[in-house]
Amino acid sequence: MDPERNVAAQRAYLGAYFDQFLKGRPQRLLVKESPRYPDVKIVR
């Protein structure tokens, strides 16, 4: 994975995590895999 894409994905998913679990705002990014970040896999 390209380092710049890696950092962008980390920022997006961490932001979504904090918005959902600390602010109580549901985030679609955490529900299913995103075509914007194809290298990220959702594991349940």
Compute the distance between CA of residue 12 and CA of residue 9 in angstroms, rounded to an integer. Answer: 5
Residue 34's pLDDT is what? Answer: 95
> 């904090």: which residue's tokens?
18
Compute the distance between CA of residue 40 and CA of residue 17 in angstroms, rounded to an integer. Answer: 14
Compute the distance between CA of residue 41 and CA of residue 14 in angstroms, rounded to an integer. Answer: 14
pLDDT tens-digit series, residues 9-43:
999 999 999 999 999 999 999 999 999 999 999 98
Q: Computed over its alpha carbons, how large is the radius of gyration of the chain? A: 11
